[in-house]
A and B are shown apart, each in its own frame.
Chain A
Amino acid sequence: EPEVTQTPSHQVTQMGQEVILRCVPISNHLYFYWYRQILGQKVEFLVSFYNNEISEKSEIFDDQFSVERPDGSNFTLKIRSTKLEDSAMYFCASSVGAVRTGELFFGEGSRLTVL
């Protein structure tokens, strides 16, 4: 069964460092998302990406965040200068169509710890 894969599974970094989280969405999917989940809290939408551009971003997704689809398979989330409050589990997700018509498939997540 195809699935969304994410690397790394866990990353520890110092405050102020840059972090890149990588995702490989399911191959025939067209919509890509990043969500985050602070420990013990709900899953929060960060950004959606379609047709090689951001279609929507939340207020959390400020100038320190960026996304990229550098080739036909990878989808990355970059945090330029990490803050302590960026510590969370980051989930990549993809869907065939827009959420209405396609189920959202989540990756296993990348746990980011900022010290």
Chain B
Amino acid sequence: GENVEQHPSTLSVQEGDSAVIKCTYSDSASNYFPWYKQELGKRPQLIIDIRSNVGEKKDQRIAVTLNKTAKHFSLHITETQPEDSAVYFCAAKVRIQGAQKLVFGQGTRLTINP
């Protein structure tokens, strides 16, 4: 079945340093990979996504890379700030019998230390 593995489960970095979160997926047919940021008690918010015809995408301090051969994708946050502290979820779109859904990773709790 479809599965998305995410590492690490917790990550603590100094303000200004970079943070990297990695995910692997099992369904080779997946072609859409969003990243969500979830602050405590709030809804997941899409921060960046990548489609399978693109290897890397950047939006200001956030970038995502995709390696379809290895079936993994990563989130990179540079120049981290205290407001980046949150739980981050990767996801992969899975298509089964015409329907489509997102399968989420387990989440990474990112803490930015001032």
Q: Number of B residues whose C-beta is below 8 Å from A? A: 27
A25 at interface by CB-CB < 8 Å: no
- Whether the pair A103, B43 counts as a contact (CB closer than 8 A) is no
Apart from A45-B102, A48-B101, what are 6 other A-B pairs with CB-CB below 8 Å?
A41-B107, A42-B104, A42-B105, A100-B51, A100-B95, A100-B100
> Across the interface, which residues of B come within 8 angstroms of A109, CB to CB?
42-43
User: What distance in Å separates the Cβ of A62 from its nearest Cβ neighbour in chain B?
Assistant: 17
- Whether the pair A103, B96 counts as a contact (CB closer than 8 A) is no
Of the candidates B32, B43, B46, the one whose C-beta lies within 8 Å of that of A100 is B32
A86 at interface by CB-CB < 8 Å: no
B106 at interface by CB-CB < 8 Å: yes
A104 at interface by CB-CB < 8 Å: yes
Distance, CA A48 to CA B4, complexed state (A): 19
Closest to B49 in A: A103
> Across the interface, which residues of B come within 8 angstroms of A43, CB to CB?
36, 44, 89, 91, 104
Distance, CA A42 to CA B106, complexed state (A): 5
